[in-house]
Amino acid sequence: MSKIVYIAMKRRRVVALFLLLLSSLAFSKATAVITLEMPVGARQLGMGETGVALGNDANTLYYNPAGLAFGPLANEWELSRSGQEAAIGPFFTAFAARNRRGFLTRNEVWAGTVEGILHYDGLVWRENLTVPLEGNAKLRDVVRTFIGTEVSLDSISGLVRNYNGVKTLGEEERLVEVKIPFSIMIKDTVTALLYEMRTEKLWVGTTKGLFRFDGRGFKDFTSEFGTHRITAIANQGATLWIGTSDGLFAYRNGVFEQRGAVLPSQQINSIAWHEMRKELYVGVEGVGIARLTPKQSENDKDVWGIFTLQDGIMDLSPKEVAIDSSGRVWVAHKEGLSHFNLRRWEQIRFENNEVHGISVSERGAIWIGTDKGVWSYVPEYSTPSGRKGETELSRGETEGARGAWSHYHQGNGLASNKVWRLLALGNDLWLSTGAGVERYHAAQNQVAFFYERLLPVFNIPDLYHLFVGMTFPLGDWGTWGLFVNFISFGQMSIASEFDPDRVASFNSSETVVGLSYGTKLNKQWGLGLNFKFFYSALSSGAALNEPDATTASYAVDIGILGRDIGLKGLRFGAVLSNIGPNVYYVDKTNDDPIPLTWRFGLSYDLLRLADHRITLNTDYNKTVVYENEKGQAQPFYISAWRAWFNPDTAEDNDKAIDKFRKTFREGIANAGAEYVYAGTVALRAGYLHDKTGKRQEMNIGIGVMLSDMLQLDIASIQNVGNLEGVRDGQLRFSGLFRF
């Protein structure tokens, strides 16, 4: 059998499928390796196959690699809540967190200010508590619970009515929920915060006393404890330790007891409980660091020790004490840090700078807030290799400040260089700065997987599409990714022209493997690149002593992504994908271009509330292959722009603008929306219009987000209009795993 006859017979079955699959793409001319343009991700596909400007999960590896430049795929700084810096100190004065783990949960943050407290529920900041009115409950009832007393109930209820815009009794009876501002109870400067996980209660220390919030209402401890200025709060099991300007107190079983009367000074600056050693470390103004081993019974006595300048601490005015994950003690001073390695004290000085606060993360990082930004220090002993070396140190050997240092400031992320307070919480760091509350999010690795059966109306079981993508943040350098996009065209058989009984079977498939990288150009714009290597086997494994129809080559994508483009929440993306040489399967003289494609996209966060989020997307995709008079495809730097003025439907008398309009109509327009409820369930819908491919499709989808770890999505194609839809009813499945 001749090569021409053989190739024709091979293509008779394979190309028939290709032509059907090509109907799902924006190819304006014959191109090869359609897997380069097969969209992925049931989330994006449920929104009309839009994703160029979305860029917030691992599927962006296909749509726009510039999405790797920003969070949640990359480490990122964010001004979460703006606030003016007070005249002599921070506006945001303290932090506490409800660290919730597991599925269907999210962390909550409390921030103290010079005017009271604010609550971050995982999505937005709130200055009030929203209470549903259930049963026969009235506004007055929820106010009574909130303030915890009958005193001034009528006047406070009146304030709450005004806050909710209630003017008449009828309006009050129609209320379904009541919003009560926290300022009803907390009006003064907040000086200390602690969320006690054991009891799920928030303790609030102010300049005029101690309060406790249980999620529904407050308890004021002024009558039992007085109007002390609270400076620090820590807990040891059922015991609450309270530092004040009048001494140290312990609260247990409803009883306050003053401790540490023997200390030379009663001005307590900071306290931290050391769970490993069962000790309390206390920063005492003018004295240094006091260490308390609490008494075990009423007949025992507290055991105190004091570390002074002679022991190696930096000064006698400690600002803040923290215990790291290895049990080391860290103390913030004006000029630097004192570090107790449980054998001796060491010092780390910050020249020409002032230290304000310190926080330690579960992973061992030490975060230091200063006048010149925030410093991250990962001690060597907190790393696996460092822990091994730690056991080899002799008791007389000093460690020094061995470890990795990083510095963040206005030049590489912060909105303000002055950092006052810090709270390390999981993958986040919360900071009180001169600009307000800023958050540093350490990105997690992501793995995306996707599956769909192609052309379900033909019921071909081995015709399917798979995608797997992974992203890995590189710290300040951006994020890199790796992906595989694969299509199986199934097994086919051909018979020899001269011997019908001689039949050969072969498998057809295409594989694209990509390496991606994205990085920020500035706070608003990001740049991304894909380097793709592909292998297309139209008849791999065929017999009949003829060559296989296979090809392999490479392609490059380059994309940009901009955020808050003229409007907060508005994103713009643009990608030129599949930049690469022509390919051939058997005959070098019969080569084809790969699908050089422009992609443009807009995405806008229409609504972003605590329990409701709506995102709108629109994309436009156009394959731009330009051929010269001889029918030869031109290089990408020519096709990328000349193809816009050479449509397939061009006529001799068309002007340039007419050609451009026709070319534009030959592309694919997509639009979609996503509604997310309570960060757990997503509903999606989209529309795809392809005039050239004669397609009008409605896409619908649903997603379930199981915390920040696992997300599952499904989408379906529904044909609309009078056009034939070979993809009608096609289902797509995907998942996203973060770790």
3-state secondary structure 66-110: HHHHCCCCCCEEEEEEECCCCCCCCCEEEEEEECCCCCCCCCEEE
The two tokens of residue 482 are 């790796």
Average pLDDT over residues 51-72: 92
Q: How confident is the model at residue 494 (pLDDT cuts 50, 70, 90)?
A: low
Residue 584 three-state SS: coil
User: What does the DSSP 8-state code read for residue 358?
Assistant: E
Whether 80 has a pLDDT exceeding 60, the answer reads yes
The two tokens of residue 195 are 């969320």
pLDDT of residue 664: 82
Whether 208 has a pLDDT exceeding 90, the answer reads yes
pLDDT of residue 446: 94
Please report the DSSP string for 109-139 in residue order: EEEEETTEEEEE-SS-EESEEEEE--TT--H
**pLDDT per residue over 502-559, tens digit each?**
566 667 889 999 999 999 998 889 999 999 999 988 775 555 556 677 888 999 999 9
Whether 19 has a pLDDT exceeding 50, the answer reads no
pLDDT of residue 76: 86
Question: Hunting for tokens 């409980």 — which residue is that?
Answer: 273
- The dihedral through the CA atoms of 271, 274, 278, 279 has a sign that is negative
Choice between 201 and 624, residue whose per-residue pLDDT is larger:
201
The two tokens of residue 695 are 């397609």
How far, in Å, are 52, 93, 239, 339, 470 from residue 516 at the CA level? Answer: 15, 41, 52, 41, 10
Percent of the chain residues topping a pLDDT of 90 = 52
The two tokens of residue 512 are 């694209």
Other Cβ atoms within 10 Å of 144 Cβ, number: 16
Q: Which of 6-10, 18-22, 128-132 has the lowest mean pLDDT?
A: 6-10
Average pLDDT over residues 76-99: 82
Whether 317 has a pLDDT exceeding 80, the answer reads yes
Q: Which of 72-86, 245-259, 359-373 has the lowest mean pLDDT?
A: 72-86
- How far is Cα 738 from Cα 443, in angstroms, rounded to an integer? 9
Instruction: Provide the residue ranges of all domains of the chain, joining segments of one domain with +.
Output: 3-74+490-738, 77-116+186-441
- How far is Cα 552 from Cα 393, in angstroms, rounded to an integer? 55
**pLDDT per residue over 119-178, tens digit each?**
998 778 899 999 998 888 889 999 999 999 888 999 999 999 999 998 888 888 888 899
- How far is Cα 154 from Cα 152, in angstroms, rounded to an integer? 6
pLDDT of residue 545: 56
Contacts of 96 (CB under 8 A, 6+ apart): 109, 110, 193, 194, 195, 202, 203, 423
The two tokens of residue 347 are 């010092």
Residue 18 three-state SS: helix
How far, in Å, are 400, 514, 579 from residue 529 at the CA level? Answer: 41, 10, 11
The two tokens of residue 129 are 């508590």
CA dihedral 720→721→722→727, nearest 10 degrees, is -20
Other Cβ atoms within 10 Å of 229 Cβ, number: 18
Q: Which of 40-44, 681-685, 729-733 has the lowest mean pLDDT?
A: 729-733
**pLDDT per residue over 685-726, tens digit each?**
999 988 776 778 899 999 998 766 889 999 998 887 655 667
How far, in Å, are 126, 143, 155, 157, 577 from residue 151 at the CA level? Answer: 26, 11, 9, 11, 69
Choice between 502 and 334, residue whose per-residue pLDDT is larger:
334
- How far is Cα 65 from Cα 79, in angstroms, rounded to an integer? 24
Q: How confident is the model at residue 183 (pLDDT cuts 50, 70, 90)?
A: very high
- How far is Cα 2 from Cα 13, in angstroms, rounded to an integer? 18
Average pLDDT over residues 667-671: 90
Paired residues of 248 in beta bridges: 243, 259
- How far is Cα 567 from Cα 573, in angstroms, rounded to an integer? 15
The two tokens of residue 346 are 């060491």
Where are the strands (E) in 135-200, listed by range? 177-181, 190-196
Percent of the chain residues topping a pLDDT of 70 = 86
Average pLDDT of the chain is 85
Whether 24 has a pLDDT exceeding 50, the answer reads no
77-116+186-441 CATH pick, 2.130.10.10, 3.30.300.20, 1.10.645.10, 1.10.340.30: 2.130.10.10
Q: What strand order describes the sheet that includes 373-379?
A: 355-360, 366-370, 373-379, 403-408
**pLDDT per residue over 64-78, tens digit each?**
999 999 888 988 888
**pTM of the model as a whole:** 0.75
Question: Hunting for tokens 């303790």 — which residue is that?
Answer: 203
- How far is Cα 738 from Cα 251, in angstroms, rounded to an integer? 41
Whether 624 has a pLDDT exceeding 90, the answer reads no
pLDDT of residue 476: 76
Q: Which of 281-295, 430-444, 620-634, 704-718 has the lowest mean pLDDT?
A: 620-634
Whether 617 has a pLDDT exceeding 90, the answer reads yes
Most confidently predicted of 59-73, 104-118, 643-657: 59-73
User: What does the DSSP 8-state code read for residue 634?
Assistant: P
Burial of 498: CB neighbours in 10 Å, binned 0-12, 13-18, 19+: exposed
Q: Which of 389-398, 437-446, 602-611, 710-719 has the lowest mean pLDDT?
A: 389-398
Q: What strand order describes the sheet that includes 201-206?
A: 190-196, 201-206, 209-213, 218-220
Residue 146 three-state SS: helix
Whether 11 has a pLDDT exceeding 80, the answer reads no
Paired residues of 220 in beta bridges: 211
- Quote the Cα angle for 263-264-268, to 5°: 65
Whether 255 has a pLDDT exceeding 90, the answer reads yes
Q: Can you say how many angstroms the Cα of residue 653 is from the centroid of all Cα atoms in its chain?
A: 53
Average pLDDT over residues 473-489: 90
Direct distance between the N- and C-terminal alpha carbons of the chain, in angstroms, rounded to an integer: 56
